[in-house]
Structure 1
Amino acid sequence: MDAEVLIAGGGPVGLYMAAALLQEGVSVKVFEQRQTRNRHTRAIGIHPPALEALAGVGVAAPMVQEGVPIRTGLAVSGGKTVGTMEFAAVSRDFPFVLALPQFRTEQLLEERVTELDSGAIIRGANVTRVRDDGGTVTVEVESGAGATRRSATAALLVVADGARSRLRSALQVPVAGRTYPDHYLMGDFDDGTHYGNKAVLFLEPEGIVESFPLPGGVRRWVVRLGQAAGPAAGPHDLAQLVRRRTGFLPDTSSNSMLSAFSVRSTIARRTVTGRAVLLGDAAHEISPIGGQGMNLGWLDARELLPVVCAALAGRPTGSQLREFEKRRQKAAVLARRQAEVNMMLGRPLPSQLLGIRTAAIGAAAAIPAVNRWAARRFTMH
């Protein structure tokens, strides 16, 4: 065999899975279609349970050193703070949500994988076909825009090739999808606010504005739109929306990332099929609002790790795989529900109804037990 485990997709979930397996002495090959890393990826939030998993492969410490630990979240409406959420009680080791751009998260994970096996990652390689003979799994890999084809064989295949997974389709895995009336425009600018390392949700009549600190004195702004952003939407448009709803005007000359997205969710009806297992967005695409998707993939991988090791050791794992699939699908459904609540709270409302909703949020935040419960739910506990 070319390796004991093949991994299709070298994003954050595939790289974490590779590092975890390599630490257990399992040989791995990671096939990643991209030659270079995308610096405009959206994910920035790393929740405490995921940090605990990342600590297991030795990358949590450098991530915390570089990232911004968000220990407090504020709800603001009409320029006034109406609620505060503290994360001190959510974890002993990581009492915060860590803000770190995804491209840097991927770099640190890739460095760890390379440290464990310098030849594990193969870039410019697109896995196009899968053949499972019951004893091994063989994939066809295209390199150089399809100019070169090769095959690779392993005991198991991990599919982590993203929300638009081609391999999920190739494996004929059905999905359950939803679309939502929620559209967003977001971008990163120099931080001109007084909020420091706090996350802020501006609850305004035209819709929510979310704001998060990032390393290097940068702040991310996420604005809900009434319709999908057009192709001409730029930093100036985002800055004006932020100013109109919050009073803050980001410096457009400092813009370092801009992205528009509409929300959908997709959950695979099966995550285990023969000798292939789907992880991350290939198994469940969740709304980015709430920052759960990447974290959910890491938690998938952490739970899969002992099952893979047992299977490679020749121990029966059929029941373990079924339980894994059941638990991770349940976790995906829960994450989707949480994201739906997050989006609902950010939708536009007439001023009178907005006032009622805002007052309810403030009243709930003022009850310590409710505040702690909400903080744990928000941080995926």
Structure 2
Amino acid sequence: MPDHDVAIVGGGPVGLLLACLLAHAGIDVAVYEKRSMGDARSRAIGIHPPGRAALDAVGLGEEARRQALELDGGDVLCSGEVLASVSFTSRQQVLILPQHRTHALLVERLAHVQPDAVHLGQVVRDVRDEGEVVRLSLEADGVGREVTASVVVAADGVRSGVRRLLGVRWRARRGSGSYAMADVADVEPSTRVRLYCEPGGIVESFPLPDGRRRWVVADPLDRLHDGAAFAREIQDRTGIRPGEATALEPTVFRAQQHRASRAAVGRIVLLGDALHETSPIGGQGMNLGWNAARRLAAAIERSLRSGTPDFGAYERSALRSAARAQRRSHFYMTMGRPVDGLSLGARNAVIRALGSPPLRRSAADLITMRGL
């Protein structure tokens, strides 16, 4: 008998969501996370309709809505002119909640359903599919041990050690760019996103709960490493001086896109960022992982009942959804690149068309991850 029905490597939001789904179904699950404490960084903030459905499935939907800010919609501007506006219907509703708060909700829910499921400070050194079980070699504080499970799920991020041990190829996809990001006090609180598609590159402005706002600036020259330069660039492109300008500590990051060639090898399955790196531009990564987690939970239940691992349908659907999301992200990034002359006029014409009455609803569906 294995030690656990399912072992999940990685205790981020996607791994925790899957653990909650399985625990709710009465499946014994263990989560092994290499960090010894929670991650307080505010990374993913948007909870799209697929993410809302996933949180509803584990009984967290209402609490997430209570803590979150609900977006009304968004506006796309260039040189002070509104090119397009969309408003969200109830089925398109997007919630804004910083990732560390979503993470805390999932940790609390899992602890309620299956206490002691999460094991922190655990580094996975090896994983071996032995036919009837999968054996994990773990190390904590210099001490090694082994555990077994009927199924192992790798939700250990873009640099997945499990994916590397399996020898699964990690292929680059179209879409990359450099950005700088910071969260500051909101001088004019609202419930709408503003995207400034300026000639010098996009500036994104997202409202956050508790009177905060996130600014994301395309940084193709990789020079926005300090608060003064970051604030000055926002002002130069948009005419707006963000709050707390002198105290900004921007996070500089490189957005890239990759996809694994396989989602499952025998009893070992890849999930979330271990399966696909999707640009955060468009806010799809976490929600894409949550959507796949719901499909994977159902596949795991079936496999445990039959005694035979069968993740073919999950693999096809997860890779197909990732491909769609990455195509959308590539489009968003293309729309936000520096541009001038005739190309600027052509780009703005595309944005106006997407915001026109015939296409506005479809554009809102695209933004809110319908069809994934």
- 1:19-49 CA distance string (max 9 Å, x none): 0000000011100111122222421111111
Task: Specify the alignment match of 1:323 in structure 2.
Answer: 313
In 2, the alpha carbon distance for the partners of 1:250 and 1:205 equals: 20
- 1:128-180 CA distance string (max 9 Å, x none): 21011110001011112xx1111111100010000010110011111211475
- Residue identity opposite 2:104 in structure 1: Q
Q: Please give the secondary structure, in 2, of the residue aligned with 1:149.
A: strand
Q: Please give the secondary structure, in 2, of the residue aligned with 1:4.
A: strand
Task: Specify the alignment match of 1:290 in structure 2.
Answer: 282
**Is the contact between residue 40 and residue 258 of structure 1 (CA under 8 Å) also seen in structure 2?**
no
Q: How many residues align?
A: 369
Would you say 1:376 and 2:370 are equivalent positions? no
Distance 1:132 1:315, change over 3 A: closer
In 2, the alpha carbon distance for the partners of 1:141 and 1:52 equals: 33
Tell me the C-alpha RMSD between the 2 structures: 1.7
Q: Please give the secondary structure, in 2, of the residue aligned with 1:347.
A: coil
Q: Which runs of 4+ in 1 moved over 4 A?
A: 253-257
Would you say 1:185 and 2:180 are equivalent positions? yes
Would you say 1:36 and 2:33 are equivalent positions? no
From 323, 348, 365, the equivalent of 2:355 is 365
Alignment of 1:103-122 (within 5 A): 103-122=100-119
- 1:27-82 CA distance string (max 9 Å, x none): 11100111122222421111111111110101121111111111211011112222
| TM-score normalised according to structure 1 size | 0.93
Percent identity between the aligned chains? 38
In 1, the alpha carbon distance for the partners of 2:274 and 2:15 equals: 11
In 2, the alpha carbon distance for the partners of 1:251 and 1:282 equals: 36
- 1:250-307 CA distance string (max 9 Å, x none): 1236857631111211111011001110000000011110011111110111001111
In 1, the alpha carbon distance for the partners of 2:150 and 2:307 equals: 13
From 206, 211, 217, the equivalent of 1:223 is 217
In 1, the alpha carbon distance for the partners of 2:111 and 2:129 equals: 28
- Residue identity opposite 1:44 in structure 2: I
Q: 1:314 Cα deviation (Å)? A: 2.2
Q: Please give the secondary structure, in 1, of the residue aligned with 2:135.
A: strand
**Is the contact between residue 258 and residue 278 of structure 2 (CA under 8 Å) also seen in structure 1?**
yes
Would you say 1:308 and 2:300 are equivalent positions? yes
Alignment of 1:1-381 (within 5 A): 1-88=2-89, 91=91, 95-144=92-141, 147-178=142-173, 180=175, 182-193=177-188, 196-229=190-223, 233-252=225-244, 258-314=250-306, 316=308, 318=310, 321-367=311-357, 369-381=358-370
Q: Please give the secondary structure, in 1, of the residue aligned with 2:200.
A: coil
In 2, the alpha carbon distance for the partners of 1:117 and 1:22 equals: 6
In 2, the alpha carbon distance for the partners of 1:281 and 1:221 equals: 23
In 1, the alpha carbon distance for the partners of 2:216 and 2:223 equals: 12
Distance 1:221 1:254, change over 3 A: same
In 2, the alpha carbon distance for the partners of 1:43 and 1:245 equals: 25
Provide structure 2 residue ranges, at least 5 long, that are not aligned to the other structure.
Answer: none
Distance 1:85 1:5, change over 3 A: same
Distance 1:240 1:171, change over 3 A: same
- Residue identity opposite 2:146 in structure 1: S
Provide structure 1 residue ranges, at least 5 long, that are not aligned to the other structure.
Answer: none
